[in-house]
Structure formats: structure tokens, C-alpha cells
Structure 1
């Protein structure tokens, strides 16, 4: 016969077992991540998801990250989402807010390189050495920075190799640095996100568009961009961040912060770049196989871009000093030297 006391004892044991089993879940820190690319994009599948998995792994499940099913705001608002704590972790492009991040313009100028892993590692080292205490970056924990290995020039109907080929052509672009570059070459810059490129090309609103080689494929623009002009050191670039709300980071235990520190920083920045380095050669191979024309910019066009680059750097040095960078030229030199060394490894 089961007595009342036995029933109570069994109930107590069961309740204790349930509490023990659910205790780790109850005490876990669940972080939210807002991302603005679709779940099929390689940034999501090959970079963001592995990051969430690594965070859970190194903290033994004490910290987990949930990627939200839809972004909480437009891409340019993602820095503020993290800084204000609307989302715990976000990523985005620094020059979506160009005035806030004047200090980083140099890395989006021409000739920043075509090895994305080396670029991203060099940019991380540059940030740590020169910018970590800059007020523009207050309020967040920087998890990684990244670049994409050199954007190039793409046209829908003709080969573009000389300065004259660029003049008066309407090119979609995404930011103020690209706008200045195109304007200086005599082209007509048209501001629009990459997601609008297909319809703009198909309707004749633009003649060409600025992209990395991989984004021609990943944005499915192969049918409307058939001509690709490659600059050996990159025509332009883009700088990216992965950040966490500063207060949320400070609220983690010392044990978990130490564990996460081991997988972020330069290591995570390198992982960002490696993903782009894998994507671009595959894209070039695919486009070539489909009969696209892929040519190098002529020496005359490269020289024209180099002249514009010198002017852009001179203008940026004054702006960067106004943004709190003590010696912008030293920072630029450090980035270039670091990139060259890392790219040669």
C-alpha cells in the first residue's frame, strides 16, 4: 500500500528533479540578435549561425543567442539598436552612418586590398590600436570588424576599361565615399541599396552598379550585369561591425566574458573575411562560365582612380582629426602595412 507519506516523498523527489533539470535553462542568459539579410544568405548561414553556436559552446549553455526572425529596423539603424539595447547584438556597415564613423572612411577608399581576411584582421588591429577609446564607439562591445575584399565596377551593356568609358554613365552606389569616387570620374552616382539594382538596371534607370563579385551572384544580377571591370587593389570597399550592447556585455559573468573573448576580436573578424574570400572566386568562376566579360581596368583608369584616392585621403585627414583621431596618417599607414604583411602570409 502506498501511504500518504510515500506519495509526498515521491512528489518531493519529482519536484526536486524537475527543478534540477530546468535550473540551467532558467539561469541562462538569452541574447537577441537583429540581422537584416535573409536566412539563406551566407552571412547568416556561414557567419552568424556559427557565432551563436560558438557562444553557446564556450559558455557551456549559460549564454545563448537567438537570431530574430525579422530585423528590428532598417540596416542603417542597426548600430543604434545595439547601442540603445533594443537588440543585444547587431551587425551592419559603418558608413551607413558616415558622419558618426568618419574615422573609418579610409578603409572604404580605393586600393584597400582584395584579401578580405587580411583586410578584416588589419582593420581589427587598427581599431584596437587607434580607435577603441574614440567616443564614436561608446555604448557597445565591439565583437568584430570586417571588410569584403574589394568592390568592383559592373556594367549592363558594355566593357568599361578607360576613364572615357566611365563618364556620364549612371552607376548605383551605396555610400558617400562611392559617390565622391564616381563623381570625380565623371560618372553619375545614383544612391540605392543593392536589393534595388536588378529593377533599376532592367528599367534603364542605371547603366551599371557597384558590387563585389560575389554580390553580383548573391543578389542574382547575372542577367543584368554582364561586364565586370576588376581593379587589382579594389575599386572601393566597405567596413562592417558586429557589436553587443555595452550594458548587456557588462552584465555577463566574468567567466562568460572571458570565454566569449576567446572567440571574438581578431578571430571573429578573420572569420568574416574568410567567408567573403570563399565566395568571390566561386562567383568569378560562375560568371566566366556563363560567358560574362571580366577585364582588368586599364592603366589609365587605375591612374585616374589613384589620383582621386590621393585627394580623398588629404580631405579625410582633416575630417578625421575633427572626429578625434590624433594622427590619421599614422593610422592609415598602420592599416596598409598590417594588411600587406597579413596578405603576404
Structure 2
């Protein structure tokens, strides 16, 4: 976390000193999931409580009762200081965060904790100094253990099954996968999936298994196609406004760093690892159809992935990544080692 370069102005630094860095501070956090969602109850609330504990009450975090913007706006909410802390999905701003696309390709893994820690270490080693991350203090990154393919009325086992079907998706990786499989991608955040399914705008949607349950889609999505290493993934962030971070006393910064970073990233992924198996069991018990993707479909996805990786290496280099292939290899080697523990 300390290796992150932020271009903070001398005025901001002076202001932090003038206002007294050691004084008690209450930080606001904007979150766009409902307070019943496990990310709120099992990740964000415990983190807020830990911040108060490790700083002996000098720094507290208040999770606002309603989000200050839509899901795709949360990076900017923190960067510009509208909220002190925010979390969100890198996927929802794909052009800004092209450097992270590698972690969203098919076969990124199905162990969310290992993925999230591997992504944190990759960020620290290869990405933290890029200008795109200026203005914020990265508190954690995360992944969710592999997204899958879900449909409202039919099994999707082969490319022929998928052709012509309309699927909600969240970013360019998913869009290209669906398009090249012959489907019709429809861009929208996960929070809109239910209304789109109910109105017939889409036939299916891309989610983790837990998301089908936690976004209350189990009545609308009844057929689930499982890819053993994940059909796609998503990358997430927890960030704090850079100037606000600089206003915190160094001792309290160190205390927060000890519970954030790799620790908070691991917690993020671990919670998804707990949720998805339980959701799969609940959906099976409810009579849903849960089947493995056919070898033909897996092979088709692997071919698309290979082309995406080749194109991304060029795009990531243009976005400032020094050696995209090496970075991706670092992530995969780190993930595989952690998943094997």
C-alpha cells in the first residue's frame, strides 16, 4: 500500500498539517449494496469496526445509509472526495482500468481468497505506480471466484445453445465472450438484472452462484452452466481519498494498513468462497438445473480467451504496463501457489 504514488498537492498536505492530523476523524463510506448483503455485513461493517479498534477511536468509519452515486461512479466519489471511502468494480470503468483486464479473463480461478490475495500482490508489484491510480489510497482489491452463465428457461451447454440469447453483462471481457459465442450482450450492473429479466429485456445473466441468491434472482434464473475454472471474473476495489488518507496521523495509517491491504483483500475473497457453495446447494435443493459446460463449449471459450490475451497485451502496454505478459504470469503463478495451500 505504501508504494502507491499519489500526486497530492502541497496545498493539500499543508491543509492536513494545519487541521491537526492527530485529531479524531470520522470517515464516510459509500456502498451500493443493500445493508442485508454479505459484503455489507461480513466485509464492510467488520472493517469499519476494526478501524475504530486499531486506532483507539481516533479514526472511525460511517457507512452511509444510501449510496452517493451509481456503482460505476464509486471510484470517482472517493478520488474527488465526495466520499472518503468507496468500493466498486473496476469492470464498470473498463477503459480507465484496461491494465486489470487480465484478471477477468476466463480460467482466472475459482478460489476467491487466493485470487484476491494474488491480485493484491500483483497490484503492488506491477500496477501501483501507474497514473491511473493517482489520487486514492488503495485499501484492498478483490475477486469473486469465477462467474458463471445463467439462463431463465433453458440449458446453455453448447455454443449453439447460446447463439441468439440475450445476456446481461458488466464489461468488455464478458461482452466479447458473449459476442463471439453468438449471444447478444446487454450492458447493465448486476443490480438491474431482476427488472430486466422480469420485463423480458434479457434471457439470462452473468453472475457468480452467490449473486443469483443475494440479488434475489433465483426465481428468474433457473438454469446454470458451470465452467470449472470460471467463465469470467470481476475485479473490485476499496479505496480512500488520497488527501483524506494523508490527513491521518502516521501511527493510525500504519494501524489501518495492518488490517487493510492483503488482509482485507483476503477477507473479501474468503467471503465469496463461503457464499457460492452455499448458494449452489440452495439452488440445487430448489430444483434448479445445474450442469457442467460441454467440452465443446469450454474449447470455444478457451479459443476466445487466447485471442483476448494477445490483444490485451498490446492494450495494456499502451496503458503503461511495463510487461503485461510477465504481470499476468506473476498473477497466475501466485494464484496457483495460494490455491494449492
Question: Structure 2 length as normaliser, TM-score?
Answer: 0.92
Spell out, residue by residue over 1:157-209, the C-alpha distance to the aligned partner (whole angstroms, 9 max, x if none): 11111111111111111112111110011111111222222232233222111
Which of 229, 232, 236 matches 1:233? 229
The CA distance in 2 between the partners of 1:310 and 1:171, in whole Å, is 22
Q: Which residue of 2 aligns with 1:174?
A: 170
Candidates 186, 189, 197, aligned match of 1:190: 186
Matched with 2:300 is 304
Question: Counterpart of 2:131?
Answer: 135
Deviations 1:292-327 (A, max 9, x none): 110110111000000000000011011000100010
What is the rounded CA distance, in whole Å, between the counterparts of 1:203 and 1:171 in structure 2?
13
The answer to whether residue 214 in structure 2 is matched with residue 218 in structure 1 is: yes
Q: What is the match of residue 106 of structure 1?
A: 102
| Deviation by residue 1:184-243 (Cα, 9 ceiling, x = unmatched) | 111111112222222322332221111100010111111111110000000001000000
**What RMSD, in angstroms, separates the aligned Cα atoms of the two structures?**
1.0
The structural deviation recorded for 1:27 is 3.6
Judge conservation of contact 2:91–2:170 (CA < 8 Å) in 1: no
Describe how 1:132-171 pairs up with structure 2 within 5 A. Answer: 132-171=128-167
Aligned partner (choices 71, 78, 84) of residue 75 of structure 1: 71
Distance in 1 (alpha carbons) for counterparts of 2:153 and 2:208: 18
- Structure of higher CA gyration radius: 1
1:95 is aligned to 91
Q: Distance in 1 between matches of 2:212 and 2:48?
A: 28
SS of 2:259's equivalent in the other structure is coil
Distance 2:218 2:152 in 1: 9
- Give the CA deviation at 1:64: 0.4
Q: Deviation at 1:156?
A: 0.9
Query: Unmatched 5+ residue regions in structure 2?
Result: 1-21
Name the structure 1 match of 2:42: 46
The answer as to whether partners of 2:118 and 2:334 remain within 8 angstroms in 1 is yes
**Offset of residue 275 of structure 1:** 0.7
Question: How far did residue 77 of structure 1 move?
Answer: 1.0
Deviations 1:264-316 (A, max 9, x none): 11110000001101100110000000111101101110000000000000110
* 1:248 matches 2:244: yes
TM-score of the superposed pair, with normalisation by structure 1: 0.91
